[in-house]
Structure 1
Amino acid sequence: MPEGHTIHKIARDHGKLLTGRTVRVTSPQGRFAGDAERVDGAVLDKIEPHGKHLFYHWSTGEVGHVHLGLFGKFKVHTGDDRPEPRGAVRMRLVADSATIDLAGPTACSIDDPSVRTEILGRLGPDPIKPRQSKQKMFDKISRSKRGIGDLLMDQSVVAGVGNVYRAEALFVCGIHPLQPGINLDIAELEALWVTITAMLRKGVKDGRIVTVERSELDIPNGVRIKRGEATYAYKRDHCLRCGTEIQLLAIQNRTSYHCPTCQPG
């Protein structure tokens, strides 16, 4: 499932192609046809990301909602390249500058703005967005006996963090994933917020997840960091810093990675 940085990059890149333009909206697959008709030919005012959700603000006053889930993917065709839809395309957006196909999302709908308000009310702060209050995240963690590795994947606690950023933020902060939220002090909470924010925003800028500092790798400047070298603990056999064997835990049906030396329990 894409993490928050991917969703923000999609909103930024697609926004450049679609916002302020009249957009044809169709559903080649048919499952989105009724909703597509409601905004077909309307102007797309903006695309708003929050965590793992995308909201499409239409000139009709209605708001589209997309959640990619595990299998959702966009395909972008620019310029005059407008191929026939391939596969089960749920939504096709066509403007003068691009054609964008969406297939396999968990959610894809056109709604009254109140639905967006209700969804946002369920979500925690999105660290990528400016002026987000971290207090909601702090309050939920401080009151919970659940492990912090579980809490960080809960989108009602903090929006946009997935399996990779969870492992890497906890590693950088030296916090064991099973540490109960209620046991974390304010300094640890502040460190987590700062670390998650920096990692997610860097992900938007880079277009990929790179959490390690280049200075900790024997890789010259200008050389692309390979995927397997881009993390401290996630999917590594041994800790990048101390060499200890990385340990795996099953937390809410997802594999969590940590270093028992750098993240003592």
Structure 2
Amino acid sequence: MPEGHVIHRLAGELKKTFGDTILEATSPQGRFAAEASIINGHRITVSEAFGKHLFVEFDADHPEHILYIHLGLIGTLLFEPAQETRGQIRLHLSDGEIAANLRGPQWCRLITDAERTQAIGKLGADPIRDDADPEPIRIKVQRSGRSIGSLLMDQKLFAGVGNIYRAETLFRLGISPFTIGKDITTAQFRSIWADLVGLMKEGVVAGRIDTVRPEHTPEAMGRPPRKDDHGGEVYTYRRTGQECYICGAIIKEQVMEGRNLFWCPDCQR
């Protein structure tokens, strides 16, 4: 599932690509045809992300004028030539030259202002958003008996944080993923939040997740670049059985609440 930086990047690309252009909206697949007809012939006025949720507002004079997308595990939103019709395209937004083609989302809906407010209200603080307030989340974390590894994946707390950022931030700060929330100090929480803000905002700009510090890059260490689907240089994520770049211990993996957890048993005691 794409992490929050991907959705923020898409939100920016939609506005940058289409600007104030009147768009053609269709549903080649047919499953979104009625909704597409409502926004067809209209402009995007707002395109923004909250965590892993994308909200695109159109200037259509209709109560349901906000496109609400969650990509889920297999969804994609790709910018392609306007004539591209390959695959099951749920929504096709085009200016005649470029198209944003949505395929396989977990959901794609048109909603009202009130429904958008309600949806956002269910989410926690998003480290990428400048208007995020982490203090209510800190209080909830420090009252919890759940592990910090579990809490970081809770979208009602940390909106947009996924498996990679969870593993990498905890490693970078030397915090065990099994530490319960009640044992996380205020200083540790604020370090976690600051690290997430920095890493995730960098991810929006770069379009990939890189978490290693300068001294641990392939060039600095004289090692081969990492090859992985997500395309970034990381410390623990999907490095099970390999040596830690810092201490040499073997990176471990286990399932935590249905998701694979990665950590270094020495650096994160």
Q: TM-score, normalised by structure 2?
A: 0.91
AA aligned opposite 1:42: H
1:60 offset after TM fit, Å? 2.1
1:154 offset after TM fit, Å? 0.7
Partner of 2:259: 254
SS at match of 2:219: coil
SS at match of 2:77: strand
Runs of 4+ in 1 over 3 A off after TM superposition: 224-229
- Please give the residue correspondences for 1:3-22 in structure 2 after superposition, counting only pairs within 5 Å: 3-22=3-22
Partner of 2:39: 39
Partner of 2:197: 197
1:218 offset after TM fit, Å? 4.7
For residues 212-246 of structure 1, what are the alpha-carbon distances to aligned partners after superposition, in whole Å with 9 as ceiling and x for unaligned?
012223506xxx95446711111122211101011
Partner of 1:129: 129
AA aligned opposite 1:197: V
For residues 189-220 of structure 1, what are the alpha-carbon distances to aligned partners after superposition, in whole Å with 9 as ceiling and x for unaligned?
00100011111011112111100012223506
Label 1:194 to 1:84 Cα distance change in 2 as closer, same or farther (>3 A): closer
Contact 1:233 1:240 in 2 (8 A): no
Of 72, 75, 96, the residue aligned with 1:72 is 75
Residue identity over aligned pairs, in percent, reads 36
For residues 154-192 of structure 1, what are the alpha-carbon distances to aligned partners after superposition, in whole Å with 9 as ceiling and x for unaligned?
111011111100000010111111111111110110010
Aligned equivalents of 2:136, 2:19: Cα separation in 1: 31
Partner of 1:104: 104
- Please give the residue correspondences for 1:183-222 in structure 2 after superposition, counting only pairs within 5 Å: 183-219=183-219
Partner of 2:170: 170
Please, which runs of 5 or more residues in structure 1 have no aligned partner? none
Paired positions, count: 260
Aligned equivalents of 2:49, 2:252: Cα separation in 1: 33
Partner of 1:95: 95
Contact 1:27 1:36 in 2 (8 A): yes
Partner of 1:143: 143
Q: TM-score, normalised by structure 1?
A: 0.93
AA aligned opposite 1:27: S
**Residue 238 (structure 2) pairs with residue 235 (structure 1):** yes
Aligned equivalents of 1:217, 1:60: Cα separation in 2: 48
Kindly report the root-mean-square deviation, in angstroms, between the aligned alpha carbons of the 2 structures: 1.9
Label 1:211 to 1:84 Cα distance change in 2 as closer, same or farther (>3 A): closer
Aligned equivalents of 1:104, 1:218: Cα separation in 2: 35
Greater mean deviation of Cα atoms: 24-33 or 81-90: 81-90
Label 1:5 to 1:129 Cα distance change in 2 as closer, same or farther (>3 A): same
Contact 1:29 1:90 in 2 (8 A): yes
Aligned equivalents of 1:100, 1:33: Cα separation in 2: 16
Aligned equivalents of 2:36, 2:108: Cα separation in 1: 10
Label 1:90 to 1:145 Cα distance change in 2 as closer, same or farther (>3 A): same
AA aligned opposite 2:107: A
